[in-house]
Amino acid sequence: MEFLLAFIALILGFIIGYILSKQKSHKTIDQFKLLISENEKLLLVEKTEKEIQIKNAQNTIAYIENEKETIKALLAAEQEKSDLLGNRITKAEVEYRNVVEKLNTQKAELEEIQKKFTTEFENIANKILKQNSQEFTSTNQKNISEILNPLKEKIQLFEQKVQETHIQGVRDNTSLREEVKKLYELNSKISEEANNLTKALKGDNKKQGNWGEMVLERILERSGLIKGEEYETQFTARNDHNEILRPDVVIKLPDNKHIIIDSKVSLIAYEQYVNAEAIEDKEKFSKLHIDSLKSHVKGLSEKSYASSDAFNTPDFVLMFLPIESSFSIAIQQDIELFNFAWDKRVVIVSPSTLLATLKTVESIWKREKQTQNAIEIATEGGKLYDKFASLVDDLKRLGNQLDTVQKTYQEANKKLHTGSGNLIGRVEKLRQLGAKNTKSIAEVSLKQMELLTDDLIEE
């Protein structure tokens, strides 16, 4: 019995030990799983941080690449401006040679036409003189003169127009080369004068505005545009909010279109930037300078020039900065300034870029005037052709009338001399029959009449 109890106790001990061991094993596994879960969370956090760092690095690289492309674009734009200027010079020279060649050809053709007209008119006049009596010739010569004199005047006017167009084309192309050469000199001179006036104008907004308008006026004078015809200053109008608008300059384009220019001067922050020596100060004042320019951009944008019925203008306005260096510094420090202004429908221009723009406008006006001259020449040429066609018709009618006169003369001559039963034969027969007469028709006179009749018939 004791053995049985001992065996049962042993069995129970094994069972209890097994149960306790299994519970301890499960606890260890749970702890291990918990540890793995915590490690996984730590690894996930670390992975997320690494991904964020990689994304930030990629964004930094993209930003650097964007800045690099922007700088390349600016350099390409400057190179494009230089190439465009060279292309304009080359194109102007080619057009000049083409115009000269075309005008020389037209002049030669005109001389040939005049020569042909002169020959034809002389032949017609000689034929008329041979076929008619002195009185008939004198009358018709007067009629021909009345026809030819207006035609001669038209030809002379046409030749004068061609010559004037030729001379004007030569002058325009010569002046274009000279003006392009002066462009760089003018830019340097204006920039130097602007820097000299900076200190004198600092702090006085009225003087700054007047000075900016004066620089703008000088550029307009040197652009070749005609004041009052191709541009106006201090123009007054109203926008769609009934607010008064007074742009500094309104540039006129063909087809009644306009470009608005407003001069804006920002000197205080710019002067502080130029005089600053520390990098921190330069950064501070350059930011103030850019903020001042942005403020001017916003002010121009709010005026809504394009909404006024007085202007037929593109949906933007030119903001003129009279100091070249203040413009270049702002662009160097904030390459997005152009885009900021364009979003506000404002284009920032300096003395050099404005002068190039105005020269382009002047070239457009010259082309327009040359086109109008060509149209007028074509119109006069058409009138000349119509007049000549009318003259040809008149000469045809005159020829028909001469044919009628010649036929009438031949019929009368037959009745008088050559036909059967002609008058001369009959009166001679009367004389032979003994009619009393004091004069006679001589044989010589009869021969002369026969020769004259033969000449007229041959002609």
326-383 pLDDT, tens digit per residue, is 888 888 888 888 899 888 888 888 888 888 888 887 777 777 777 777 777 777 777 7
Cβ contact 160:407 at 8 Å: no
Cβ contact 317:261 at 8 Å: yes
- Which pLDDT score, from 0 to 100, does residue 444 have? 42
Q: Which residues contact 104 (CB under 8 A, 6 or more apart)?
A: none
Tokens of 168: 């004007």
Query: Cα 406 vs. chain centroid, distance in angstroms?
Result: 63
Cβ contact 154:383 at 8 Å: yes
Rounded Cα gap, residues 94 and 89, in angstroms:
9
Tokens of 265: 């001067």
232 forms beta bridges with: 250
Nearest 10 degrees: Cα torsion 76, 81, 82, 84: 120
63-112 pLDDT, tens digit per residue, is 667 766 776 676 666 667 667 766 776 776 777 677 677 767 766 765 67
User: 379-402 burial string, b = 16+ CB within 10 Å, else e?
Assistant: ebbeebeebeeebeeebeebeeeb
- Which pLDDT score, from 0 to 100, does residue 123 have? 64
Rounded Cα gap, residues 27 and 23, in angstroms:
6
Q: Global pTM?
A: 0.43
- Which pLDDT score, from 0 to 100, does residue 272 have? 82
Q: Which residues of the chain have pLDDT under 50?
A: 443-444, 457
Q: Which helix (H) or strand (E) holds 58?
A: helix 2-131
- Which pLDDT score, from 0 to 100, does residue 340 have? 92
- Which pLDDT score, from 0 to 100, does residue 120 have? 59
Amino acid letter, residue 439: K
